[in-house]
A and B are shown apart, each in its own frame.
Chain A
Amino acid sequence: MTLWFVFALMTVAAVFAVLWPLSRSRPSGTGGSETVVYKDQLAEIDRDLASGIIAAAEADAARVEISRRLLAAADEGQREAAPQANLKLRRVAAILALIGLPLVAATLYLRLGAPQLGDFPLAGRSLVADASQPLVNLVAQVEAHLEKNPTDGRGWTVLAPVLSRLGRYDDAVRAYRNAINYAGDSAERRADLGEALMGTAGGVVTADAKAEFERAIALNADDPKGNYFLGLAAEQDGRKTDAAAIWQAMLAKAPADAPWRPLVQAALVRVGGVAAPALPDSAMAAAKDMNDTDRSAMIRGMVDRLATRLKQNGDDVEGWLRLVRAYLVMGERDKAMSALSDARQAVANDAERLRQLNEGLKNLGLDG
């Protein structure tokens, strides 16, 4: 409520700034004029002459010139119409200020601002650190710790996946490399490193990333992540049959309750391998549930942010798809569906975007 009161006060002040000069019948300053400047210049010549800076002849010439300008300026001043009051115009200006100004300000502000949000200064928040965001703080602590003990392999191992989650892929890559250096090589770390490398390249399995996955496989031929991404590399290279072969081999060896099973099956469908048409959503959601609560809370924060951003700017088809996908992964089908309809609305005016959206939805297994 105070906020609106403050807004009102500010608006009144702004309106007052316009009305005040209009209300005064006799304006205070009628302003200076050129004659003052020229008189000043004449006085200055006298001063200069007195202190001997300019010669008498020069001074005379200058005086003549300035006097001429002075006369011209005085003439002009007389010829000019004297200021007059134009009441009709003043009334228009007053109305403009009284109605136009608040109207423009309110319209623009309501479009841009977020009056429902209060302040969140850090001082007031760290006491009641909300459970949804502890990771970012932890990261800072762990980073500080590692600054002092750069050979702490366990620290790097803990930090690396978090950095990856935060989207700091460059840092994650370094952290994984350090973890491998100081905490020992393992198939999992190699595969994670490869995944972080992919992150730096925007999701493309680069040669570097592929090399890491291959190293992971060399250490443990059954490492699921390494195998999966090698398959993805093959798919990205256009070798769909190779990809299918890799993934089929994975499925054949995998235990029936492996959490990643549905994902590989979905990928297999994508490259046209043997179909295993179980809809992956629920299984994926189940897999997610096995993760620690921290992580899911953090993902939720990200998803919420994405949703807010899309509410402000709905042009981003990729973003909408990611949002829908994220809700599906989190097992919130209702939200996914409402996001979907929001997305349709947001891009309804743009045929090209709508087509992209529908195509993307098809890939997600949602035809409409």
Chain B
Amino acid sequence: MIAEAGHYALVLALGLALIQSTVPLLGARWRDAALMNVARSTALAQLLFVAMSFIALVTLHVTSDFSVVNVYENSHSLKPLIYKITGVWGNHEGSMLLWVSILALFGGLVAAFGNNLPLSLRAHVLAVQAWVAGAFYLFILMTSNPFLRIANPPIEGRDLNPILQDIGLAVHPPMLYLGYVGFSISFSFAVAALLEGRIDAAWARWVRPWTLMAWIFLTLGIAMGSYWAYYELGWGGWWFWDPVENASLMPWLAGTALLHSALVMEKRNALKVWTILLSILTFSLSLLGTFLVRSGVLTSVHAFATDPARGVFILLILCVFIGGSLSLFAWRASALKQGGLFAPISREGALVLNNLFLTVACATVLTGTLYPMAYEVLSSDKISVGAPFFQLTFGPVFVALLLAVPFGPLLAWKRGDLLGATQRLLAAGIAALIAIALVWAWTYGGATLAPLAIGLAVFVVMGALCDVAERIGLFRMPLSISLRRARGLPRAAWGTMFAHAGLGIALIGIVCETTGNTEYIGAMRPGDVVPIAGYQLKLDGLTPRPGPNFSETIAQFIVKRDGATVSTMTPSKRSFATRGMSTTEAALLTRGASQLYISLGDATADGAIAVRIYHKPLVLLIWWGPVLMAFGGLLSLSDRRLRVGAPKPAKAPRALQPAE
């Protein structure tokens, strides 16, 4: 009954989406408030039914009901409970259900907390949201239905794949989805604005919190995915320019650009058409991301569902939504009124530059990701575009962007003073030069680019600090006034500081990891000692240990520094004999922001074991940076001015708290 109820709930959600996608539009056309309000209750009901459906699937996985094909194929009664639950979205059908659940969640949030939106705008937004939802419900029901049954249920499920039993793999896809799908709201707002033919500064204020929310989740999702790859795949890399990773990076770049251009629009009523276009593009890239992962068009480390029939359906959805919205854009954009004026050197100008660099960076990633596919179609040769391509294209564009980052917040709106901004950034510049000199002296003879890159990172971090210092008049005024001003500074300004500083901090991590990395690869016997980056690692012994359904070889390493024992590390290798599979469990030792990383290879015949040891200086900064950025985003989101549903400060308690 659970399975069938879940199935029926999904069908009902489709029915509601069909109503929600038409009735409110008619209502807006004939200005009937009740009809427009239908969007609200149907969106909430949709959320209810999709949530029921999702909970039903989770229950089926937890109770191991193998009469459901999806459970039979992707679960096993011996799986630990947590992996039974995460296994729900570890497969294609379940992950699509999660996708629409999140879509319905966002639709429900707009319905519940969109009190400050004009009635017709809300009706339009929810109607567009229902178009997207309807298409995906159909897709799920027709091509990837998780509720199909087996009449004669088997007693045991098929999947106990050890590689997929990992908590990191379980958590990062929902995060990414929250990001991808969150951008559907800005898409719906954009299409709604085009349908209404009216857009102004208030629109940007309304759309920004939603964009920011999606951006925060996407930032965290990407960071978590990268960390997962780092510790799980066992060769210490954290970014592979893999199509699946690129698919998440592109909406992030476009979404970041959107956040900034929406700011210009909110403050100055300018860049309206461009912001609309970016909203459409960002969600299109999110859809493309879904498509790249789901259809298996591109070969990828992550490929876990490859089915061309589904691909064709998704391609159709892509064409309809991207093509449709872009056509609508081409048709209606010229009707939108022009906005405010500004000089090229101004805050607006800086944000335009930011948008330019971000979109160009996004375009290079898109080129690199799609080029192999296009090439194969045209010449039937297979090629791969790897890291060197992206380093040569994405790299320079991003360096230019980072150089410009500290200037932006220091320029005034409308007409800025570049010289003044430069003067105020003097401290940051000096700090950067000192950093360059220090790093250069320290790594004398090493990579020449590394000190420069560190200098750039320091410049970005210090620039962010300078901006806040300037605003609160630190060192210019008495400390008490500065403190008072600091308290009065909008949280969005603090958010900007953290986000920009996070960018610089991530860059420091990236540079240190790529240039200061020391590694040892070789065969070790018990008793052998390897010196690496000031540490002495002694392989103490190899202990076999039986696990529940695998046998494990654990290597014990004693880590010493200057003769004193620091810690022990126990990387292991698990082998699943009946499945002929083995997995490597890397051991990580965190010292400050640096890490020692050991992963094991195969044992050789003479009792030695292949070992890979890395010392990665400051590697954790790579992920602290994005976490800081997300924190900055959260601060901005908590800014009173951006709160959803709180048009007046007095109504603040009703505000939507940022989702955890």
- Chain A interface (Cβ within 8 Å of chain B)? 2-3, 6-7, 10-11, 13-14, 17-18, 20-22, 24-25, 27, 29-34, 36-38, 40-41, 43-44, 47-48, 50-53, 58, 61-62, 65, 69, 72-73, 76, 81-86, 89-90, 93, 96-97, 100-101, 104-105, 108-109, 112-115, 117-123, 125-126, 129-130, 132-134, 136-137, 139-140, 143-144, 146-148, 150, 159, 170-171, 174-175, 301, 304-305, 308, 312
Contact = CB atoms under 8 A, between A and B. Distances in A.
Contacts of B489: 51, 53
A109 B8 contact: yes
B30 A51 contact: no
B453 interface: no
B152 A304 contact: yes
B156 A84 contact: no
Interface stretch (B37-45, B350-358, B623-631): B37-45
Given A51-B484, A105-B15, A140-B78, A308 B118 contact: no
Interface stretch (B443-451, B457-465, B574-582, B592-600): B574-582
Contact of B64 (A10, A65, A72, A121): A121
B23 interface: yes
B169 interface: no
Nearest to A21: B37
Contacts of A73: 200, 202
Interface string B217-238: 0000000000000000000000
Contacts of B201: 34, 37-38, 69
Given A10-B8, A109-B11, A84 B38 contact: no
Given A83-B119, A117-B149, 14 more contacts: A22-B35, A24-B37, A30-B33, A30-B119, A36-B647, A44-B490, A62-B413, A65-B268, A117-B4, A117-B151, A121-B64, A136-B155, A140-B156, A148-B546
By secondary structure, the B interface counts as helix
Contacts of A58: 412-413
Interface residues of B, number: 94
B310 to A, nearest CB: 15
A32 B117 CA distance: 5
Given A37-B202, A89-B26, A112-B7, A14 B49 contact: yes
A2 B45 CA distance: 22
A34 B202 contact: yes
Contacts of A301: 152, 154
30 contacts: A10-B49, A18-B19, A18-B38, A24-B34, A31-B121, A32-B115, A34-B200, A36-B647, A37-B116, A38-B202, A51-B484, A52-B473, A76-B198, A81-B31, A84-B30, A89-B35, A90-B35, A93-B35, A105-B12, A113-B7, A114-B149, A119-B2, A120-B66, A121-B65, A126-B155, A146-B578, A147-B577, A174-B580, A175-B578, A312-B148
A81 B218 CA distance: 41
Interface string B5-30: 10111011011101100010011001
A52 to B, nearest CB: 6
Contact of A120 (B8, B65, B117): B65
Contacts of B200: 34, 69, 72-73
Contacts of B118: 31-34
Contact of A101 (B9, B19, B27): B19
Interface string B481-498: 100110011100000000
Interface of B: 1-5, 7-9, 11-12, 14-16, 18-19, 23, 26-27, 30-35, 37-38, 40-42, 44-45, 48-49, 52, 63-67, 77-78, 115-122, 141, 145, 147-156, 198, 200-202, 205-206, 268-269, 340, 412-414, 471, 473, 481, 484-485, 488-490, 546, 549-551, 576-580, 641, 647-649
A119 to B, nearest CB: 6
Nearest to B138: A108
A319 B31 CA distance: 56
Contacts of B485: 51-53
**Ordered nearest first, which 10 A-B pairs have the shortest CB separation?**
A51-B488, A17-B45, A31-B119, A121-B63, A32-B116, A122-B64, A21-B37, A34-B202, A37-B202, A143-B578
A255 B580 CA distance: 40
